[in-house]
Amino acid sequence: MSNIMVKATSRSVQHAFSKFLDQAHQGREIVITKRGTPWARLMPIPAEETERKVDWAPVFERTRKLFKGRKVEAVKAFLEMRGEERW
């Protein structure tokens, strides 16, 4: 799909939200109207805003200090936290 703007009524968006969400994900901008007046805009988020950039070194260092030499437990805890994206 192209980056064109689509107008949709609030009622149509309410009844087919997933369709409009898919369109926004594919690059379309949807202007949601209520009684003919624009009320909201549904649009894609640029990829650079959705990328999560975490510096894991400080997290690992805090985990290592927390477990004070118990390396195996520290590594397990770190990997668990990283897998859960808690930081």
7-23 residue pLDDT tens: 999 999 999 999 999 99
Angle CA(41)–CA(35)–CA(1) in degrees, nearest 5? 35
* Structure-block tokens of residue 21: 């969400």
Question: Does pLDDT of 62 surpass 80?
Answer: no
Q: Determine the pLDDT at residue 1.
A: 46
Question: Does pLDDT of 85 surpass 80?
Answer: no
Q: How many other C-beta atoms are found inside a 10 Å radius of the C-beta of residue 36?
A: 7
* Burial class of residue 41 in the structure, from the number of CB atoms within 10 Å of its CB (0-12 exposed, 13-18 middle, 19+ buried): exposed
Q: Would the pTM of this model clear 0.85, i.e. be above it?
A: no
| Sequence-ordered list of residues with C-beta below 8 angstroms from that of 81, at least 6 positions apart, any chain | 59, 63, 87
Task: Please give the CATH topology (third level) of the domain spanning 5-48.
Answer: YefM-like fold (3.40.1620)
